[in-house]
Structure 1
Amino acid sequence: MGTDFIAGIVSSAWAYPVLEVLHLAGVALLLGNLLLLELRVFGWGATLPVRDLARLALTLAVVGFGLAAVSGLLMFAAQAAELIANRAFTCKMLLLLAAACNAGWFHGRASLDKLDALARVQMALSTLIWLAVLGCGRWIAYL
């Protein structure tokens, strides 16, 4: 990524706010679809085939994650030094690692096929981690 491009983000009156909106839209798409799948795992909407719902929800969640990741990386590039020194940002990055590990665990043990108590714990943990990511993301501006 060129320094001229990043300088353009920093100097623009609208680029960073647009990135923030895209970032939040991506997070909403991600978290909203994970919550939908979690409700199904917990037994709500039991008439909906879990595999079909998971295919749709996880596809949209991945799109949301991609949007959040790209916009987040651009925002990070625009103020890397400040963010690296920010405790809330560090906490957010650690929580993202925890979310990735939890997702890997969930899919690695084929929890969607089992829908057992551990699958429900993993889904609840995922939601709690992502809510904490949201909290840290908002807190970045205040530290």
Structure 2
Amino acid sequence: MPEPQPIVAFAWIASHPWLYPLLEALHVVGIGLLLGSLVLLELRVWGLGASLPVEPLARLALPLSLAGFGLAATTGLTMFISQPGELLANRVFVVKMALLMLAGLNAASFHARGGLQSLDRFARMQTLVSLGLWLAVIICGRWIAYY
């Protein structure tokens, strides 16, 4: 199988003196928005801040999480298209993408089964899985550069 070649029109992004570092910084901002708002909601699922109603907190936190994910995904995709061959050959990058998929499936399952409404043991376990997956995604993201 031939190795994927960089998309020539986008290869310049990786070597640009300020664009790639800006993308990396915005990627981190997106991750911060995503994880920060998720952790607040997950702590509420675990019973911390029980005086805060879950539904209004979710109406605030979930759009921030989605915005953070959107920013991280957009900047990540832009960085990816600048060097797809190199990244696809990096095992840590592939693991990161698999973890992202699992995190998305876990979130979809949590909301599809009404985890915010039930706040049961399974919902709490899903929040632990969520946090673990997102932390693993972040660790893999940092590790890509060193692998």
- What TM-score comes out, normalization by structure 2 length? 0.93
Aligned length: 141
- SS of equivalent to 1:46: coil
- Aligned twin of 1:20: 24
Structure 1 unaligned regions, length at least 5: none
Residue by residue over 1:110-130, the C-alpha shift from the partner in whole angstroms, topping out at 9 and shown as x without a partner, is 010000000000011100000
Equivalent-residue separation in structure 1 for 2:145 and 2:122 (angstroms) = 36
Give the C-alpha shift of residue 21 in structure 1. Answer: 0.3
Give the C-alpha shift of residue 3 in structure 1. Answer: 4.8
- Aligned twin of 1:142: 146
Q: What are the residue-to-residue correspondences of 1:49-68 with 2, within 5 Å?
A: 49-68=53-72
- Aligned twin of 1:80: 84
Equivalent-residue separation in structure 2 for 1:28 and 1:72 (angstroms) = 14
Equivalent-residue separation in structure 1 for 2:91 and 2:12 (angstroms) = 27
- Please say if residues 93 and 144 of structure 2, whose CA atoms lie closer than 8 Å, have aligned partners that are also in contact: yes
- Aligned twin of 1:33: 37
- Aligned twin of 2:108: 104
Residue by residue over 1:23-53, the C-alpha shift from the partner in whole angstroms, topping out at 9 and shown as x without a partner, is 0110111001110001101111111110000
1:84 alignment partner AA: L
- What TM-score comes out, normalization by structure 1 length? 0.95
Equivalent-residue separation in structure 1 for 2:17 and 2:140 (angstroms) = 25
Equivalent-residue separation in structure 2 for 1:98 and 1:10 (angstroms) = 28
Equivalent-residue separation in structure 1 for 2:59 and 2:126 (angstroms) = 18
CA RMSD in angstroms comes to 1.1
Give the C-alpha shift of residue 142 in structure 1. Answer: 0.6
Equivalent-residue separation in structure 2 for 1:13 and 1:19 (angstroms) = 11
Give the C-alpha shift of residue 10 in structure 1. Answer: 3.0
1:41 alignment partner AA: V
Equivalent-residue separation in structure 2 for 1:122 and 1:11 (angstroms) = 40
